Structures are given as structure tokens and as C-alpha cells.
Amino acid sequence: MNYSFDYDNTLIRYKYIYDEDGNITDAVYDRPHQENINLLRELASKGHRIYIVTSRIKGLSFDASIDNSPKPEYFVHTFDLPVESVIYTQARSKLSYLVELGVCKHWDDCPEQCKEIRDSGLLEVHEVDAPSAINSFLREKYIKLITENKSEVFNE
């Protein structure tokens, strides 16, 4: 069988940064999500194919002072993860990619992606717990950064 995992907040974790008044000022990479990494390894050890399907944009890169999260390929290599390939949806819906890969179950933290997958009835989805609204916060953060730094952010 084929299984897939989202990347941000599913295989790696982010956390909010708060100011002294308790207002959210940023969301930054925190650590690997060990529970899901262990699950990924367990599924692969049983002979299943594993994919990472991420809404990230391939080649998008920021200075480490802005985003210190590891790129998916680097993460796979560093942790020696048994992943067939990393699929970038370029900020589009994941459903068609998952269907094309023959995925039977996908793990993801994005409520919108999970709803679309669940509503399709084409495969099973497990919604991963993440800090409230962090997915949309990160999306807005990166849209703003891309807009402000168009000429500097696309590097392979």
C-alpha cells in the first residue's frame, strides 16, 4: 500500500513566538515530529511505500534567520527516512497528487486539505494536531515574504 505524510507540522513541528503581551508575532521551526516519523518508519518496515506530499513550493528558500526549517529532502537524508519521493504541490490541493500516487491514507495538519480529502471519499485522512491556526499563519507569513523578496527566494 501507499501512504503519505504532509511535511510542515506533520513530520516537523512549528511553534508560535509570543511578545510580552501574549500576542503571536511569528511561527518558527521547533523540532521533528517524532511520533509521525516513527509511524512512517513502521509503515515502511512492513513494505509499504511512503511519500511526502507537501504544499511547499519547490526551490523556495529563505535566509535561515527568516526560516530555519530543514528542506524536506535534507530532512529525509538526515534522518535516513524510507521515503520514495517528495512531491511539491506548489500551494495547490493535494488530492489529485494523492490519487495519482495511489495513496490509501494521508496524514496532514491542514484542516482545509483534510476536509477536501475526507469529502472526496477516495482515501482515508488523519488530521494531525497542530497549534491552532498555525497552518494559515505560516501560509500568510510565506506569501508576505515571497511578495517582499521575489528575486531572492527561489534557489535550488
The torsion region of residue 48 among left (phi > 0), alpha (psi -120 to 50) and beta comes to beta
pTM, whole model, 2 decimals? 0.91
Reported as a single tens digit per residue, the pLDDT across 16-75 is 999 999 999 999 999 999 999 999 999 999 999 999 999 998 887 777 777 889 999 999
- Closest listed residue to residue 94, CA positions, set 70, 110, 72: 110
With beta carbons less than 8 A apart as the criterion, state whether 1 and 104 touch. yes
Q: What share of the chain is helix, strand, coil (3-state, %, to 5)?
A: 35, 30, 40
Reported as a single tens digit per residue, the pLDDT across 114-139 is 999 999 999 999 999 999 999 889 88
- Closest listed residue to residue 146, CA positions, set 66, 85, 80: 66
With beta carbons less than 8 A apart as the criterion, state whether 50 and 4 touch. yes
Domains of the chain plus CATH, in order, are: 2-152 (3.40.50.1000)
